[in-house]
Amino acid sequence: MTEGTSIIVPERIERTILRARGQKVILDSDLAILYRVETKNLLKAVRRNVLRFPTDFMFQLTQDEFDNLRYQVSTAKGRGGRRSLPYAFTEQGVAMLSSVLKSPRAVQVNIGIMRAFVKLRQMLASNDDLRRKLLALERKYDSQFRIVFDAIREMMEPSAPDPPRKRIGFDTEWEKGSAGRAAEGKA
């Protein structure tokens, strides 16, 4: 095992893969950490080779997308940090980085990232196989098992964000304002 491969942990790479615009992506800052370069230097290399990175390989997140991802991964705004919106690299964009970044570390990181993307695809394929098997079982057995099948199907679906909570408590006179006082006067 070479020196570079012992540091690249597949689980760490898998945690950096996010979903944006319906695609699996890795943010520029996460790639920079993996490659052990500064984000600005990674982006400089990309800008020098901009023709290699069409929009289906790399795109800049909008503020809403970035806020949504920040909420998903629970990262704090913190002090300092970036002054521009991050770039998201698709699997093809990460593969293209291997032609732009040529250090031995970059080669090992790219191999690790490609393996992580393949593993995710295999997991999704096995989930589809499970879904097909479940449908076949459901057709085979009568409706008494429908509740079980519905529960399993619900567990397989990605969880939706929690709905907004209703406010609990009483309104004070201050919060009711003049509209609240006017309604009380009519009673």
The answer to whether residues 39 and 82 touch, using CB atoms and an 8 Å cutoff, is yes
Kindly report, residue by residue over 100-154, the tens digit of the pLDDT. 887 888 878 888 888 887 777 777 677 777 777 777 766 666 555 666 667 777 7
The answer to whether residues 110 and 95 touch, using CB atoms and an 8 Å cutoff, is yes
Quickly state the pLDDT bin for 45 (edges 50, 70, 90): very high
